[in-house]
Structure formats: C-alpha cells, structure tokens
Structure 1
Amino acid sequence: MLTGTTTHEDEPRPGPAPVAAEAREQFVSSPRGARLARRHAVRWMEEWGHPPASDVSCTVALVVGELAANAVRHGRVPGHGFGLRLTLDEPAGLVRVEVADAAAAKRPPASAPPSCPGGESGRGLLLVEALAVRWGSAPRRPVGKTVWAEVATKAPTHL
C-alpha cells in the first residue's frame, strides 16, 4: 500500500504552452487609428502574459506606434485603412509586428537621420531599428506594403 501519493485522473492537467499567438485588426488611416492600434497591441500583449508596464509590452507599443504613424502619414490612400498584425512566438522569444497599408513603396523605408536636427519628425524608423531585433518591408499583393519588426520577449542571456 502506498501512502502519501494521490492521483487525480479526472482533474484537468495543464497543457503545453501555446507555440504562437496571433492577433490582427484593421484601423482607419488617421491619428486616432494609430492610437487605437497601439492600445490594441498593449491589450493583446497583456492577454499573452506581458503586462502593460513590462519592458516587452512597452517596446511593442513604441514599435506599433511608430509604424502605425508612418502608415497614416506616408501610406495613406483615400478609402483604405491600415492593418496591424502581432504574432507571439514564445519558443523563439519574439513578437513580430506587421503594419500593412495600401500605398505602394516607391523605395524601401530607410532609417535615415532626420533632415533637420531640431525637427519634430523623422526619427521613427531610427527608434524601430534601435528597439527591434530586425525589421524590414515587403510588397503586398495586390497593392501596398507591409513594414515589419521583430521584438525580443526575453533579455539577452549573454554578458
């Protein structure tokens, strides 16, 4: 007879952590749409276990804010909004942010320094480049482009 050991076959057992989570939404191409995209990203990150005040959630919010603002300012096409897609890949330790708009890219976005050192704009992609593991853009079919960035969910383990 075994003592001190109890098994509960009828109790639910925790399953493996989800490999990936995805959320997507369309927004009106306006400053309000860009703000809503950022709020949605923070909410999704919280649902995925990253509280709003966490480093990763704040970083994702900043990246979404910059890419959404660029979509509104530079990618706006009358009658079209922009799309936001976040994908969490816990095993890889990454959140992929994708912002898609209807404007065709004349050239890939660049993180060039602002033309005026005292100017109030022109630094968004510099921030994205500094915060993201990697970023880039791709044409969208049938029209438009997607600008994406990958953000680390864990701090680097090397010193």
Structure 2
Amino acid sequence: MNQPASQLATPTRAFTQLLSSTRRGARLARLLAVTQLRSWGAGENLTESAETVVAELAANAVLHGRSPGRSFRLTLVLDPLAGRLRVEVTDARGDLLPHIPPTDADALHTCGRGLSLVAALADHWDCVPYPPSGKTVRAVLSTP
C-alpha cells in the first residue's frame, strides 16, 4: 500500500534550550546549534551560516540582554519542506533593541558588526517583544 506524500515528508524539527547569560552560555549555544543541525542532517553550508548567526545573537544576548539571575533561550526551527531555518534568541532586556549602525560609523568602533554579519547571512532578521520584559531576535536562513 502506498503512503500519501504528506506522510513521507520530513516534519518540521525544533530545538529549544535555556542557557546561562555568560560567555560560556553563548559558546555552548553555538556548539549545541551545530550539533543539533548536524543530527538533523542539515547541509554544511546552512550549518556554518547558522553557527555564525547563533554565535552573534547569543553574544549579544549575553552582552546587551543580560539581567541578573536570568537566562537566555536559544530556539532552532528547521522546516526542510520550506527550505528554512529560523534561529531565535530570547533575552530579558526588551528595553535594549538591536540595530545595525550606519555605514559611515567610526571604522574603529568595535560594536555593531555582529548584526551586520547576521544581516548578510540571513534572508531577514527582526526583533519582537517577549512579554513581560524581554525580546526575541529572530533570523531566517534558507537552505541551499
């Protein structure tokens, strides 16, 4: 008996993990993302791009979104049929919203380059409130 195509399709996969708002937590987010994507059979190009995006968003959550005693959350959602990976990083500081500095900003300034990398690697990214006081930064990457 033949199965309908909808039953043969690969389902959407999701991964969520709370991590400490420390440098170690940001590093662990990157390592967990790579491990999870490889276990799902994601392509190497997608995994490498996602690794950079997760590293930047997690570092921002630790550096700019940290609130004493609060963790940040990493979520990965892979939809193989749509050819999309959504990366979400949620932190406790909804009052500090991310932005890319203007291109004419001081070349020696060390902040703001991470989101430029995210913008270059992702199809799009945005930031939404996470009530009661946090925010979620999301980036969507297409699979090749």
Q: TM-score, normalised by structure 2?
A: 0.89
Residue segments in structure 2 that go unaligned for 5+ positions in a row? 2-6
Code of the residue aligned with 1:93 in structure 2: it is G
Tell me the distance in 2 between the aligned counterparts of 1:70 and 1:87: 20
- The two structures, once aligned, show a CA RMSD in angstroms of 1.7
> 1:56-94 deviations in whole A, cap 9, x for unaligned?
100000000000000000000000010000000111111
Tell me the distance in 1 between the aligned counterparts of 2:102 and 2:37: 30
Q: 2:86 aligned to 86, 96, 104, which one?
A: 96
Matches for 1:1-159 after TM superposition, within 5 Å: 16-50=8-42, 54-106=44-96, 108-113=97-102, 115-154=105-144
Aligned-partner SS, 1:128: helix
- Identity fraction in percent: 43
Quick check: which has more Rg, 1 or 2? Answer: 1
Is the contact between residue 72 and residue 90 of structure 2 (CA under 8 Å) also seen in structure 1? yes
Q: How many residue pairs align between the two structures?
A: 138
The residue aligned with 1:5 is none
User: Displacement, 1:121?
Assistant: 3.3
Query: Hey, which bits of structure 1, 4+ residues long, moved more than 6 A?
Result: none
User: Displacement, 1:47?
Assistant: 1.0
Code of the residue aligned with 1:21 in structure 2: it is R
User: Displacement, 1:142?
Assistant: 1.9
Whichever structure has more helix as a proportion of its residues is: 2
Tell me the distance in 1 between the aligned counterparts of 2:48 and 2:102: 24
Tell me the distance in 2 between the aligned counterparts of 1:116 and 1:49: 41
